[in-house]
Amino acid sequence: MATGSASGGQSPENKPLPETEILNVVVQREGQKVSTKWGLHPNLKEELKPEEWKELTEIMGKVTTIIGNRFTQVLDQIDQETSGSA
């Protein structure tokens, strides 16, 4: 889950700014099945041009694939380690 602001979370008066979630990635596991999903803040989505939305969708498809594959590898390694120690 990515949060933050362009100013690094600090206002000019050095008071923390409220964080806004603009992009999130969720990985879920159900048994052997791993699924990844991503979401974008609705206001930002509305502001994107169609070609920007298409590009973001393609990039996030790659990101969720990478994250899902890595998550699966880690879970497989953990499963192998725990089953081998019984």
Amino acid letter for position 7: S
Amino acid letter for position 81: E
| pLDDT tens profile 46-65 | 999 999 999 999 999 999 99
**How many C-beta atoms surround the C-beta of residue 36 within 10 A?**
19
Q: What is the pLDDT of residue 47?
A: 94
Confidence of residue 66 (pLDDT cuts 50, 70, 90): very high
Q: Cα-atom radius of gyration of the chain, to the nearest Å?
A: 18
| pLDDT tens profile 33-48 | 889 999 999 999 999 9
Q: Quick check: 16 pLDDT over 90?
A: no
